[in-house]
Amino acid sequence: MIVRVIAILLWLPFQAAAQGFAGLGTDAEGFAVPTPNPVFDFPQDHGAHPEYRIEWWYLTANLTGPDGTAYGVQWTLFRSALAPETRDGWSDPQIWFAHAALTSPDRHLVAERIARGGVGQAGVTVQPFAAWIDDWQMAGPSFEDMRLTARGTDFAYDLNLQATGPLVFHGDNGFSVKSAQGQASYYYSQPFFEVSGTLTLPDGNIPVTGTAWLDREWSSQPLAETQSGWDWFSLSFDTGDKLMGFLLREDTGAFFSSATWIAPDGTTTAYPDGAFSAQPLDWHSVAGRDVPIRWAVQLPDKGIDVTVTALNPDAWMALSIPYWEGPILIDGSHTGRGYLEMTGYE
């Protein structure tokens, strides 16, 4: 999920202009760099790591309404540091921003927020846990028991999150490699949230239940210069197994892949480059570009050979930095639901 980093840095358009797309986030000057064999310290590590350039609290949820309609919800808080430190007041170099989305089969509503650190407008505290920007927040007595809220001009949601399983660490115990050159991040997830709550759409409130997947990741130089975009999959099978897999696309057409298999009890199997694969099957034109909205996904080691299809092909995040992100339905060797994120499609 480190692949999402480009969104963060591109979000600030001046940096995009200055550096171009692929080179973003490749420079770790002055910032700490992830090293292998991390030892995490919770709940402290649920909080911010200002000595690293980028970090996020990234939640996606697959929900169902009373009539069986499928919905998707995204809530993401990003931290992007201009310098590896924090200061009180407006001179704090930490910048926070957030994306929220609510997707139904025929609607995709989005909103974004941006704020400076140091003045209380946005931030993360660990005990009790709270991650917030303006009135959007993910907070509760603990990381396992939280309330999630966000709203835009035409939608809102208010969801309760209860963790029913352990944290899951990707890569080598949370050290997740992103390229053949060795770029890496710290990456763990809580994929076992049970969700209940209310969605507010322009036509009214809808009570929903479902599951959510929360990603935590931080790094300073996650991408290689030659990487131009990514496709990230989080799949929750009806068997209770889960799969996280991504492709980092190279300029040359080659790609770097990585995956984590998560058993229902939370035990993981990490897969190196090449084990996980995905091929576009159907393309859809959205916001003036073609994006694959049906994929063939394989992880032969676990007998996974499925087709994933976007619930709403128009789940385009038309924000300051645009990308595609939305719920997917799984069919084939296994069935289930999940989320797909795609960037770098011009």
Partner 1 sequence: MIWTALTALLSHWRSNRLQFFAMVAGLALATALWSGVQAINAEARASYDAAAATLGEGQFDQLLPRSGDRMEQATYIDLRRAGWQVSPVLEGRLRTDDGPVRLVGLEPLTAPGTIAPVGMQEGTNLDDFLTRGVLFAAPDVADALTASLSQRVITDPSVAPGVALTDIGVVQTLLDAEAQLSRLILAPTQPMGLTDLASLAPELVRQPAQDTGADRLTDSFHLNLTAFGLLSFAVGIFIVHGTISLAFEQRRSMVRTLRALGVPLNLLIGLMISELILFALVAGGVGVALGYVIAAVLLPNVAATLQGLYGASVAGTLQLRPEWWLSGLAIAVLGTAFAASGALWKIAQMPLLASARPRAWAVASGETARRLGAVAGLLFVTGIGIAVWGQGLTLAFALLACLLIGAALILPLLLRSAVTLADRQARSAMWQWFWADTRQQVPGMSLALMALLLATAANVGVSTMVSSFRVTFVDFLDQRLAPELFIRIDDPAQSADVEAILLSEAREVLPLLSVETAITAVPTDLFGVRVGPTYRENWVFLDETADVWDRVEEGRATVVSEQLARRAGLWTDDPVTVAPGLTLPIAAIVADYGNPLGQALISETLFRSLYPDMQPLSFGIRTDDPSALRTLLTEDHGLPDTAITDQSRIKAFSLGVFERTFTVTGALNVLTLAVAAFAILMSLLTLASIRVPQLAPAWALGLTRRRLGQLELLRAVVLALVTTVLAIPLGLLLAWVLLSYVNVEAFGWKLPLYLFPGHYALLTLFALLAAALAALWPALRLARTPPSDLLKVFANDR
List contacts with partner 1 (CB under 8 A): 12, 14-15, 18, 82-83, 89-91, 93, 95, 111, 114-116, 119-121, 132, 134-135, 151-156, 200
Closest C-alpha among 265, 274, 340 to residue 306:
340
| Nearest distance in Å: CB 136, partner 1 | 8
Say if CB 5 and CB 54 are below 8 A apart: yes
Q: Smaller CB distance to partner 1: residue 53 or 249?
A: 53
Closest C-alpha among 270, 271, 282 to residue 308:
282
Q: Measured between alpha carbons, how far is 159 from 239 in angstroms, rounded to an integer?
A: 25
Q: Measured between alpha carbons, how far is 212 from 204 in angstroms, rounded to an integer?
A: 23
Closest C-alpha among 50, 119, 115, 122 to residue 90:
119
DSSP state of 17: H
Closest C-alpha among 67, 44, 43, 47 to residue 57:
47
Q: Smaller CB distance to partner 1: residue 89 or 303?
A: 89
| Nearest distance in Å: CB 134, partner 1 | 5
Q: Alpha carbon of 121 to those of 94, 134, 169: distances in Å?
A: 12, 6, 30
Q: Smaller CB distance to partner 1: residue 150 or 247?
A: 150
| Nearest distance in Å: CB 81, partner 1 | 10
Which residue shows structure tokens 């290689």? Answer: 224
| Nearest distance in Å: CB 286, partner 1 | 23
Q: Smaller CB distance to partner 1: residue 77 or 95?
A: 95
Amino acid in position 72: G
204: left (phi over 0), alpha (psi -120 to 50) or beta: left
| Nearest distance in Å: CB 113, partner 1 | 8
Q: Which pair of structure tokens corresponds to residue 101?
A: 């989305």
Q: Smaller CB distance to partner 1: residue 91 or 127?
A: 91
Q: Smaller CB distance to partner 1: residue 87 or 289?
A: 87
Beta strand pairing status for 242-250 and 184-201? unpaired
Q: Smaller CB distance to partner 1: residue 90 or 252?
A: 90
| Nearest distance in Å: CB 122, partner 1 | 9
| Nearest distance in Å: CB 255, partner 1 | 32
